[in-house]
């Protein structure tokens, strides 16, 4: 069994939940994070464990983390700029592509052989098949975020086939739950904190996507990684999400219910046919059949995951 693990972005939302689980399972875990999006408070549960180690480092600067890869068996690569909305594309290039390249180069030279990469559903772009399976193509992302993640997937595949690494790609749906500080639910709660008399929703409200609660996400990752370790596949990809979808208007209604507020929902109308922003995939539903074939099933469907996450985040704040 793998015992020495490096988690990049381990102080972030998903990364910190993964670290907590790995520590509980007695793995020796080193976290590297530049704390630009992550927070050490997220690692409070694990920080006192003897098998936990933290390095404040930046993957854009190889010298800050290369030594940490010595004697590492497995790398979970969760470091990235988490903002899907349109931003300076150079940020996505630097934080996602450059950082991933530097990590792969360090793995190649330092001997770490297996990488588990947190990718995204946005690599698919706007699909003609929904629910969308892992073998769907062509992959034509409509955002610079999705494009940068797809480029990272390609780099991982190329390093696996050229330099003998192994790569497991996790195409995550919208992951929600306690510790998250961006995305639709935190955005709605921030807006209601500023003005509880109305709730603005970007777009026309019909945007519909798959969501997964963080607890289901971690259980899925653990199962997929265990299965990958027993296989001889060089590169593999899994959708990690619930099987259904929910509209952004329904999310707004659930958040208002959980906040015990009776406020009108106001749609902005959106851009480009009702999207929340340019690059927003309006309709996204992932197939998780490949994951289910391993024996996994989500505890929370999308709507229940939204409700549970809203409760958690209200208590968190």
Domain ranges (residues) in the chain: 4-174+211-240, 178-210+243-283+301-316
CATH no. for 4-174+211-240 = 3.40.50.720
CATH no. for 178-210+243-283+301-316 = 3.90.25.10
Let me know: does 123 contact 146? Beta carbons within 8 Å.
Answer: yes
Q: Which residue has the tokens 């995951």?
A: 305
Let me know: does 199 contact 252? Beta carbons within 8 Å.
Answer: yes
Q: Measuring CA to CA, which residue among 156, 178, 151, 186 is closest to residue 169?
A: 156
- What φ, ψ does residue 14 adopt, rounded to 5°? -70, -45
pLDDT at 9 over 50: yes
Domains 4-174+211-240 and 178-210+243-283+301-316 share a fold: no
Chain Cα centroid distance, residue 228: 19
- Token pair of 195 as six digits: 């003005």
* pTM listed for this prediction: 0.97
The pLDDT score that the predictor gives to residue 1 is: 45
Residues whose CB is less than 8 angstroms from the CB of residue 139 and which lie 6 or more positions away in sequence, other chains included: 123, 124, 125, 150
pLDDT in tens, 92-104: 999 999 999 999 9
High-pLDDT (> 90) share of the chain, % = 95
Count CB-CB contacts under 10 A for residue 48: 9
pLDDT in tens, 174-229: 999 999 999 999 999 999 999 999 999 999 999 999 999 999 999 999 999 999 99
Return d(Cα 212, Cα 138) in angstroms, integer.
Answer: 25
- What φ, ψ does residue 271 adopt, rounded to 5°? -130, 160
Return d(Cα 152, Cα 150) in angstroms, integer.
Answer: 5
Mean pLDDT of the chain: 96
pLDDT in tens, 225-264: 999 999 999 999 999 999 999 999 999 999 999 999 999 9
DSSP string, 109-131: HH---EEEEEEEGGGGBS-SSSS
């Amino acid at each position: 069994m793998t015992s020495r693990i490096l988690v990049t972005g381990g102080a972030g939302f998903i990364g910190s939940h993964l670290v907590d689980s790995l520590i509980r399972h007695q793995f020796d875990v080193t976290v590297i994070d530049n704390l630009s999006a992550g927070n050490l408070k997220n690692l409070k549960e694990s920080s006192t464990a003897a098998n936990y180690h933290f390095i404040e480092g930046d993957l854009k600067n190889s010298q800050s983390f290369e030594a940490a890869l010595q004697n590492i068996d497995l790398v979970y690569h969760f470091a990235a700029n988490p903002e899907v909305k349109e931003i300076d594309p150079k940020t996505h290039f630097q934080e996602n592509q450059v950082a991933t390249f530097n990590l792969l180069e360090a793995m190649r030279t330092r001997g770490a052989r297996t990488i588990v990469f947190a990718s995204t559903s946005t690599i698919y772009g706007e699909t003609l098949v929904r629910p969308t399976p892992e073998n769907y193509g062509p992959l034509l992302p409509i955002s610079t975020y999705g494009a940068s993640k797809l480029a990272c997937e390609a780099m991982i595949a190329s390093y696996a086939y050229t330099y003998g690494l192994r790569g497991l790609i996790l195409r995550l749906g919208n992951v929600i739950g306690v510790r998250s500080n961006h995305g639709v639910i935190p955005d709605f709660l921030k807006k209601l904190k500023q003005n509880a008399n109305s709730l603005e929703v970007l777009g026309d409200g019909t945007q519909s996507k798959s969501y997964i609660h963080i607890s289901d996400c971690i259980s899925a990752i653990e199962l997929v990684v265990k299965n990958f370790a027993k296989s001889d596949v060089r590169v593999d990809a899994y959708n990690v999400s619930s099987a259904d979808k929910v509209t952004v208007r329904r999310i707004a209604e659930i958040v208002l219910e959980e906040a015990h507020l009776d406020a009108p929902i106001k749609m902005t109308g959106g851009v480009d046919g009702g999207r929340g922003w340019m690059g927003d995939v309006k309709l996204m539903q992932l197939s998780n059949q490949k994951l289910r074939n391993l024996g996994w099933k989500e505890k929370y469907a999308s709507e229940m995951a939204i409700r549970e996450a809203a409760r958690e985040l209200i208590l968190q704040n």
